[in-house]
Amino acid sequence: MPEVRLLIVEDENIVAKDLRVTLQRLGYEVVETVSAGADAIACAEARRPDLVLMDIALRGEMDGITAAAAIRDRCDIPVVYLTAHADEATLQRAKITEPFGYVLKPFEERELHTAVMMALHKHRLERELRNSREWLNTTLRSIGDAVIATDTDGRVLLMNPVAESLTGWSEADAAGRPLPEVFCILKEHSRKAVENPVDRVLAEGMIVGLANHTLLVSRDGVERPIDDSAAPIRDSGGALLGVVLVFRDVSERRRMERELQEHARQLEEAHRRKDEFLAMLGHELRNPLAPISMGLELLKGPPTDEEVIATMRSQVEHLIRLVDDLLDISRITRGDVPLRKQHVELAAVIARAVEMVRPLINQGEHDLSVSVPDEPMRIEADPVRLTQAFANLLNNAAKYSPRSSPVRMLAQREGDLAVVRVQDEGIGIAPEWLPRVFEMFAQAEPSVERSQGGLGIGLTLVQNLVRMHGGDVKAHSEGVGRGSEFTVSLPLLPEAQRSAEDGAAAAPTSAGQRRRVLIVDDNRAAGRITQLLLESVLGHEVALARDGPAAIECARTFHPHAVVLDIGLPGMSGYEVARRLRTLHGMEKAILIALTGYGEERDRRQALEAGFDHHLVKPASASSLREALHATPAG
């Protein structure tokens, strides 16, 4: 047993000596024996014994009870009273000091030993309990949530400072009150009282929480949104002792949620307006491009200045590419671009890309070399979109390279991948720009003499298109002025899926078959150029209408095999015109072609739903018009 140190306070000398001997024989250390109350207090403060054995009836001005009270208050040392007899008043005074036991004189050794052991044990338990309470109290006051504890009748036992602040009740005022008086909660929208969560815990014996949109009404009438949970307090045997309620003010969280929702709404609105702007921009840009592009088709021929035409066509194609890239990147970032995949030969895609950029290559007098392996490299791809990606890379190589410099396009098989490299000896890329070349609108500042403009979205478009095909694209450059290399990797078809040919394509109808075509366009220049293109280049018989009613009236007498119809008409939209044309006798099988500046996927779907057979975006090439007009035999 650890050494226990005792202080004896006894004014009977013989009793004091006998007590000292007995205690030492029992294994205790007696630090001092004193006979007066003042001496007992001084010794207790100086020696700090574990227990004081105090005679109640001390001679002098201070009796044992007064001395014991002082020792308890100053030193927190337990006291056991020694007494032979005492009147009732004395015993009542003794009880106030909360002694840890009594030993009656004359005492027996076993009784004395038991009293000392019990006093020490009780004091240790009280100290542990007091420490636990202090720890719990400190914890409750330190946490950021509000805490209220109740008994099994739902009456408040304790509250922490946060709970006092939120409810407006002090712990002293709330103690013993039914919880609903202190914790008053309402439904935010209906203003009806919410069931007390403590009542549910007491009834169900399980943890419960508040529904969303609950308001706490404080003592002074302030309302705050809160959330909470209530849990049962049980003893070691599982018996219910009470309930603890933990809640928090969620005003700030609710404010942030509202701000986030409003921000999301604003972003969505901005996104919608941006899409509307881009669609309108595309429409407005394509309208003037259409007559220019078609006019260039008409200007072909020996009498025409071929150099001027080539320059005009190059600039028009550049503008068309900018518009298409702008709208394509918008659709791709939204995931609105469906890929029409098929098994294609990579060499054919490369050839189409080279054909697209050939005017720019020729204009810059670049030495273009293209290398593809003899063995076929078949991939699953949308040939139009993949051609667009390769054409963009070649276009960049030509734009940002000195005149007459080489541009190389190399394709080869590397394992299960088809790898295509586009190399140039142009302005190159600074090391700090390499990680950002595929970001939207990212453009390193070129030198003045090599500034070629652009929107800064071409490479972003390339990256998105390649990734949509399951591939990857990387950029490499040794630095400014040292050229660039872009490497595209695409998965090859597995050997089992490769076929000898794509399948027989449907034989086109002879381009020389003459048709009656009705053109409906409120843009006079666009309508007239389209008419000239269809008459002079494609050899068709053409009628022209400016609006919906005129188109319907013309169709009744002209009996067209095909109608090339603008969508944005005054008064009656092209969709409505198409629906009405389909009701006319003889127009059931006519080819309806939507020719419009609106090129979104939803525009194409709406056109098909309205009865159109084809949806072409301005400016449409002669070849696309020819293909649409001859898709089915004339009626």
Task: Give pLDDT, residue 510.
Answer: 41
* Averaged pLDDT, groups of 10, the chain, 635 residues long: 83 87 89 90 92 85 86 87 70 72 78 85 82 70 81 90 91 91 87 82 80 84 86 83 87 86 83 67 62 65 55 60 63 65 88 84 91 89 87 91 94 94 93 82 43 59 90 93 94 69 37 80 80 80 93 92 90 92 90 84 87 85 80 50
Strand partners, 244: 149, 231
Distance from the first to the final alpha carbon of the chain: 116
Task: Give pLDDT, residue 420.
Answer: 96
For 495, phi then psi, to 5°, come to -55, -35
Tokens, residue 339: 């890929």
Does the CA dihedral 110-116-122-124 come out positive or negative? negative
Report the distance separating Cα 132 and Cα 126, nearest Å.
10
Report the distance separating Cα 480 and Cα 559, nearest Å.
63
For residue 109, CA distances in Å to 50, 51, 84 come to 19, 17, 16
Using an 8 Å Cβ cutoff, are 554 and 566 in contact?
A: no
Task: Give pLDDT, residue 195.
Answer: 79
Contacts 24+ apart (CB under 8 A), 366-369: 366/398, 366/401, 366/403, 366/404, 366/405, 366/406, 366/407, 367/404, 367/405, 367/406, 367/407, 368/394, 368/406, 368/407, 368/408, 368/409, 369/406, 369/407, 369/408, 369/409
Using an 8 Å Cβ cutoff, are 487 and 419 in contact?
A: yes
For 207, phi then psi, to 5°, come to -70, 135
Using an 8 Å Cβ cutoff, are 468 and 318 in contact?
A: no
Report the distance separating Cα 114 and Cα 127, nearest Å.
20
Task: Give pLDDT, residue 517.
Answer: 93
Report the distance separating Cα 116 and Cα 108, nearest Å.
12
Task: Give pLDDT, residue 501.
Answer: 41
Report the distance separating Cα 605 and Cα 572, nearest Å.
19
Using an 8 Å Cβ cutoff, are 321 and 388 in contact?
A: no
**Closest of 429, 447, 448, 445 to residue 437, by C-alpha:** 429
According to the 3-state scheme, what is the secondary structure of 381-448?
ECHHHHHHHHHHHHHHHHHCCCCCCEEEEEEEEECCEEEEEEEECCCCCCCCCHHHCCCCCCCCCCCH
Using an 8 Å Cβ cutoff, are 555 and 518 in contact?
A: yes
Using an 8 Å Cβ cutoff, are 35 and 9 in contact?
A: yes
Does the CA dihedral 122-128-133-134 come out positive or negative? positive
Q: Which helix (H) or strand (E) holds 54?
A: strand 51-55
Number of neighbours of residue 339 by Cβ within 10 angstroms:
14
- Which residue shows structure tokens 């404080």? 218
How are strands ordered across the β-sheet holding 591-596? 541-545, 516-520, 562-565, 591-596, 614-617
SS3 content of the chain, % helix, strand, coil (to 5): 45, 20, 35
Q: What is the DSSP letter of 155?
A: B
Residue 441 gets the label, from left (phi > 0), alpha (psi -120 to 50) or beta, of: left
Tokens, residue 191: 């203003």
- Which residue shows structure tokens 């095999």? 561
Using an 8 Å Cβ cutoff, are 459 and 326 in contact?
A: no
Report the distance separating Cα 195 and Cα 185, nearest Å.
8
Domains of the chain: 5-138 (3.40.50.2300), 144-249 (3.30.450.20), 261-335+511-635 (3.40.50.2300), 339-495 (3.30.565.10)
Using an 8 Å Cβ cutoff, are 4 and 28 in contact?
A: yes
* Identity of residue 564: V
Strands 614-617 and 184-187: unpaired
Report the distance separating Cα 538 and Cα 536, nearest Å.
6
Task: Give pLDDT, residue 511.
Answer: 44
Using an 8 Å Cβ cutoff, are 408 and 385 in contact?
A: no
pTM here?
Answer: 0.39
Using an 8 Å Cβ cutoff, are 447 and 427 in contact?
A: yes
Report the distance separating Cα 505 and Cα 452, nearest Å.
40
